[in-house]
Amino acid sequence: MEELNTQPTTPEVPSAGQPAGWGRFFLDILETLLLSAVLFLVINVLSARVRVDGFSMLPTLQDGEFVLVDRIAYKLGAPERGDIIVFHYPLDPSQDLIKRVIGLPGDEISVVNGTVSVNHQVLQEPYIAEAPYYSGNWVVPQGNLFVLGDNRNDSSDSHAWGMLPLDKIVGKSVLIYWPFQNMELINHYDFAKASK
């Protein structure tokens, strides 16, 4: 036979260190919002998101794709030939462009008969849309890069406006993240391995 407890029960009172009911609810919301703000700031310090606008990087990048950019890559290391980078356009820093690094400081760049050479070595470039129609010779000064679009004949790049100062670099492109069906890591062509 079960015994019934006829003693009156007293409701639990929250301890002095714990807010009750609505107070706890609002504290949880505040903590969540603060954590979200901190994460947002950290993500924006470490990365950028850019939209590819135009056809200068075809076939590697398509018009309208969104790309994740690593802002700290070149604070920890130097750009390399073949990297695809985002930078502030030197002639209008309010615009961001995306191109491939072809020449590093001190390099001699030559474009002749549809081939690009760096320091008298012809580059193997399976990623370009077509061979360039233009010709020219450039020497990359210290503190600068020589960049070209993969769609060589439809790209505003170093062959047209000159060298890219290193201090204009935003970061190294890492990932195509939108549209979702195009999501993939971005291939930074390794010229050193290709020439072996």
Q: Which residues are identified as catalytic?
A: 56, 99
DSSP helix/strand/coil, 32? helix
* Alpha carbon distances (Å) from 34 to 17, 29, 42, 48: 21, 9, 12, 21
Task: Please say whether the beta carbons of 176 and 139 come within 8 A.
Answer: no
Extract the runs of DSSP E, i.e. beta strands, from 35-95: 47-51, 66-70, 84-88
Angle ∠(63,76,177) on CA atoms, nearest 5: 25
> Which residue, among 161, 168, 25, has the nearest Cα to 87 in the 3D structure?
168
Task: Please say whether the beta carbons of 125 and 116 come within 8 A.
Answer: yes
Work out whether the CA dihedral 37, 42, 43, 44 comes out positive or negative: positive
